[in-house]
Amino acid sequence: MDKLEKYRQIIQEVLTEYASRKLLNEEKADEFARQTVFDTKNDHYQVMNVGWEEFDRTFSIPIHIDIKNGQVWVQQNMTDYDFIEDLLEKGIPKEDIILAFHPPYKRPYTGFGVGV
């Protein structure tokens, strides 16, 4: 399996695992859902929160990952779940993970890749 296909598979696996995790409040499970969105043609991968909490509509994208130039760009992580550690454990090296939510001048100090 080539590197790009391996990265696609790992990202989809990690995000699917996260999205299927139990919700904190099971009573709201009928009105709230986590959904995965995988655009493998353009290499965009997201987890969405969709539903209702009491009288408030919930729609957010807590996780967004892209693959660009053979590297995994973490565009958004608005969770307390360290899915980046899962990416590492499943075989994506640190230098190929870009914490894109940090500005370019900070990336050399993160211990991860800086982008190409």
> Tell me, what CATH number does 70's domain have?
3.30.310.110
Amino acid 5: pLDDT: 97
How many domains does the chain divide into? 1
Lowest mean per-residue pLDDT among 10-19, 28-37, 56-65, 83-92? 28-37
Are 56 and 73 in contact, with CB atoms under 8 Å apart? no
Tell whether 115 is covered by a domain.
no
Average pLDDT over residues 4-14: 97
Are 37 and 48 in contact, with CB atoms under 8 Å apart? yes
Report d(CA 25, CA 69) in Å as an integer. 40
Tell whether 38 is covered by a domain.
yes
Q: Tell me which of 53 and 20 has the higher pLDDT.
A: 20
Tell whether 114 is covered by a domain.
no
Amino acid 28: pLDDT: 58
In tens, the pLDDT along 94-116 reads 999 999 999 999 999 999 999 87
Are 45 and 15 in contact, with CB atoms under 8 Å apart? yes
